[in-house]
Amino acid sequence: MAKNLFVAGLSYDTTSDALNKHFSEIGTVVSAQVIMDKFSNQSKGFGFVEMSTEEEGKMAMDKLNGTKLNDRNIVVKEARPRENFGNRG
């Protein structure tokens, strides 16, 4: 299921809109979100992109992994389900 992508190496200045624009060069972006720290409201340096099809997701991994976005080389991988870390509270 390569249509859900994990993107790392983002500049702290990268916005969700910029992430969306970068990936829309490959195909249709369903959603793009840069993950923000809830206390400082600063980017955590990674995000997630959902492409409309698995083909577009694979193409995005192949063509955008290692490319520059806001002067930083990004890493694009298939997103994996979050592990269950048990009781967190």
Could you tell me the CATH number of the domain that includes residue 33?
Answer: 3.30.70.330
Q: Is residue 83 part of a domain?
A: no
Does residue 24 form part of some domain? yes
H/E stretch holding 69 reads strand 68-69
Q: What is the chain's percent helix, strand, coil content, to nearest 5?
A: 20, 35, 45
Count Cβ atoms within 10 A of the Cβ of residue 88 and give its class: 0-12 exposed, 13-18 middle, 19 or more buried: exposed
- For 5-34, what is each residue's pLDDT tens digit? 999 999 999 999 999 999 999 999 999 999
Contact present, 74 and 23 (Cβ < 8 Å)? no
Residue 8 structural domain = 4-78
Does a structural domain hold residue 59?
A: yes
Question: Does 87 map to a domain?
Answer: no
Is-contact 51 3, C-beta < 8 A? yes
| Tens digits of residue pLDDT in 37-75 | 999 999 999 999 999 999 999 999 999 999 999 999 999
Question: With bands split at pLDDT 50, 70 and 90, how would you rate the model's confidence at 88?
Answer: low
Q: What is the pTM of this model?
A: 0.88
Residue 40 falls inside a structural domain? yes
Statement: residue 89 has pLDDT above 70? no
pLDDT number for residue 87: 57
